A = this chain, B = another copy of it.
């Protein structure tokens, strides 16, 4: 495989930089994944530590594909925060450690990897992958909801990503409870305040500290995780943990209200649930979100399809790789 891959001279790298984990892939000309690697997102050390982890992850993925990064046509990165594609910088990536300012991620990676780097917005690139290769294929318009550490979103209208003035898609910061719970963004009552993995972890910690029983933090330690990952949440729910169930119910309700609001505004027939939690919880939770949308839909008889991203948790990395031109 590696020989063929090297032979066709068209390998592209892609990295999905998430608040919890880093996923790197190398894809062939025909979009097959020929190498992959995963790292936890560093919890300290700031942008430099994150850049080092990205370099190491794509190096491992490239090695699996039988090449070194400098042989790649390029590496795309899907990043949170405010991405300046031309300048190659990432600003205000609040879900990453110590990343309040502007960091020249493109330049750093280009120097470390020796190949062209193309930055993009994490949620938008995941959506492009779903649009071209996954659940969005053949559907003209859809709303992508990235349910992970934060809640991102993308609006695809008639087959094209709607960017607005550059920052469209913040479904996680649509208001579902005016004057509601504090959000990680500093505002109140956003969808993300109830459904973002980071916000849910804060709420679990607070309630656990106040004496509520939960297996969440024991499972986290058992698995050697620094955070309540999607897997930890899933296992706590399997064990019937009441606190996990209650917080997850709140997340589903908030997602339902927020997505229904977006559907009432745009009358789009498809919702694709993406992101670490979304993919991990799978179609049963997509169905629960559809149920939570129903009481808020202006036209409940024309409720949209709510489906899970087909590319699973590789979608972000594959979409990042698709940003790299397929020709030298």
**A296 neighbours in B (Cβ, 8 Å):** 173, 175, 187, 189-190
**A298 neighbours in B (Cβ, 8 Å):** 167, 170, 173, 185
A258-285 vs B, CB cutoff 8 Å, 1 = contact: the mask equals: 1011101111110000000000000000
Tell whether, in the assembled complex, residue A299 and residue B265 are in contact, meaning their CB atoms are under 8 Å apart.
no
Q: Taking the nearest CB of chain B, how far is it from the CB of A188, in angstroms?
A: 8
Return the contact of A265 from the options B153, B165, B188 (Cβ within 8 A): B153
A7 touches B (CB below 8 Å): no
Number of copies: 2
A162-194 vs B, CB cutoff 8 Å, 1 = contact: the mask equals: 111111111101111110100001011110000
Cα distance A100–B180 in the bound complex, in angstroms:
35
Tell whether, in the assembled complex, residue B269 and residue A165 are in contact, meaning their CB atoms are under 8 Å apart.
yes
* A169 and B253 contact, Cβ closer than 8 Å, known pairs A175-B176, A178-B177: no
* A264 and B178 contact, Cβ closer than 8 Å, known pairs A165-B269, A165-B302, A295-B187: no
Q: Taking the nearest CB of chain B, how far is it from the CB of A220, in angstroms?
A: 29
Return the contact of A155 from the options B141, B163, B261, B265 (Cβ within 8 A): B265
* A168 and B266 contact, Cβ closer than 8 Å, known pairs A175-B176, A296-B187: yes
A157 touches B (CB below 8 Å): yes
Scoring A166, A176, A187, A190 by chain B CB atoms within 10 A of each residue's CB, the highest score goes to: A176
Tell whether, in the assembled complex, residue B253 and residue A165 are in contact, meaning their CB atoms are under 8 Å apart.
no
**A117 neighbours in B (Cβ, 8 Å):** none
A254 touches B (CB below 8 Å): yes
A317 touches B (CB below 8 Å): no
Q: Taking the nearest CB of chain B, how far is it from the CB of A291, in angstroms?
A: 14
Tell whether, in the assembled complex, residue A157 and residue B165 are in contact, meaning their CB atoms are under 8 Å apart.
no
Return the contact of A178 from the options B153, B254, B265, B268 (Cβ within 8 A): B254
**A269 neighbours in B (Cβ, 8 Å):** 164-165
Tell whether, in the assembled complex, residue B178 and residue A176 are in contact, meaning their CB atoms are under 8 Å apart.
yes
A67 touches B (CB below 8 Å): no
**A190 neighbours in B (Cβ, 8 Å):** 296
Q: Taking the nearest CB of chain B, how far is it from the CB of A160, in angstroms?
A: 10
Tell whether, in the assembled complex, residue B264 and residue A170 are in contact, meaning their CB atoms are under 8 Å apart.
yes
A198 touches B (CB below 8 Å): no
Tell whether, in the assembled complex, residue B267 and residue A299 are in contact, meaning their CB atoms are under 8 Å apart.
no
**A157 neighbours in B (Cβ, 8 Å):** 157, 162
Nearest to A153 among chain B residues (CB) is B265
A308 touches B (CB below 8 Å): no
Cα distance A165–B164 in the bound complex, in angstroms:
20
Nearest to A177 among chain B residues (CB) is B178
